[in-house]
Amino acid sequence: MEQDVWTEQVARTYDESSAYMFAPEVLEPAVGFLARRAEGGPVLEFAVGTGRVALPLRERGVAVSGIELSEPMVRELRRKPGGDAMPVTPGDMARVRVPGEFSLVYLVYNTISNLLTQDEQVACFRNAARHLRPGGRFVIEVGVPDLQRLPPGESARPFHVGEHHVGFDTYDLVDQRLVSHHYRLTDGRAETFRSRHRFVWPSELDLMARLADLELRERWADWNETPFTADSRAHVSVWQKPDAVGQ
């Protein structure tokens, strides 16, 4: 994962540039979905960031811990109400081990794609499995690659167009990579941010889960549990660790 992308400047403006992800109609279904799958147990967020999901989940009484590679992002989390009390372990979500077992590990907002190789993404699944207690669940929210909507000869697709923010992805089909471009208007001044990603298909994620001894239990088009179809632009998938060895 690229640590130098999530700099002090990016962390300071992250919440504002991603304001549409904090909208109640976006955030509340995600928090509710995760709270139900936690079933009262402790949970762990990979790449907890500024706490967009983790803090409201804690407000529901769920014991949430986090892993985060970017120190500036953690500092932003600590500035928020309740942020000081959240246990956060610094490091790479594909490798760092947090003490204890969890009923739920989750990874939201396309962050699995921040791992730029297939090996790193497989390692992330295996690390999630190591943290789960028997019967525990691993949840990922990620977009479906938009390739079928690319006109011939083009390589870019928008993912958000708002009053103060425009975002689009450019695709490299050979190396299974994309670059997310963000343009934000603040006080009449334009700011830009780019991040690299490895896009991944649902079927490839299912194979990674099998390599980590996890089994697919649910796949939805969104946090509202809309059925997943061939036309879905994203998916929320749930894999489960067997209750017992050999099950």
pLDDT average, residue stretch 136-155: 90
Kindly indicate the confidence band of residue 77, based on its pLDDT and cuts at 50, 70 and 90. Answer: very high
Q: What is the pLDDT of residue 9?
A: 80
pLDDT average, residue stretch 5-29: 85
Percentage of the chain lying above the pLDDT 70 cut: 97
Q: How far is CA 222 from CA 31, 52, 76, 80, 115, in A?
A: 12, 17, 27, 27, 22
Q: 54-68, 74-88, 232-246 — which is least confidently predicted?
A: 232-246
Kindly indicate the confidence band of residue 23, based on its pLDDT and cuts at 50, 70 and 90. Answer: very high
Question: For residue 212, is pLDDT > 80?
Answer: yes
The predicted-structure confidence for 26-70, as pLDDT tens digits, reads as follows 999 999 999 999 999 999 999 999 999 999 999 999 999 999 999
Helix (H) or strand (E) holding 36: helix 24-38
Q: What is the pLDDT of residue 65?
A: 98
The predicted-structure confidence for 167-208, as pLDDT tens digits, reads as follows 999 999 899 999 999 888 777 788 788 889 999 999 999 999
Question: For residue 1, is pLDDT > 80?
Answer: no
Q: What is the pLDDT of residue 4?
A: 65
Q: What is the pLDDT of residue 245?
A: 57
Q: What is the pLDDT of residue 150?
A: 83
CB 138 within 8 A of CB 239: yes
Question: What one-character-per-residue DSSP string does 159-223 give?
Answer: EEE-SSEEEEEEEETTTTEEEEEEEEEETTEEEEEEEEEE---HHHHHHHHHHTT-EEEEEESST
Give the integer Cα–Cα distance in Å for 17 and 10.
9
Question: For residue 3, is pLDDT > 80?
Answer: no
Give the integer Cα–Cα distance in Å for 32 and 230.
25
Q: 97-111, 151-165, 224-238 — which is least confidently predicted?
A: 151-165
Question: For residue 2, is pLDDT > 80?
Answer: no
Question: For residue 247, is pLDDT > 70?
Answer: no
Query: What is the torsional sign of CA 142, 170, 155, 175?
Result: negative
Kindly indicate the confidence band of residue 78, based on its pLDDT and cuts at 50, 70 and 90. Answer: very high
More confident residue, 160 or 57: 57
Do strands 64-68 and 43-46 pair parallel, antiparallel, or not at all (unpaired)?
A: parallel
Rg (CA), the chain: 17
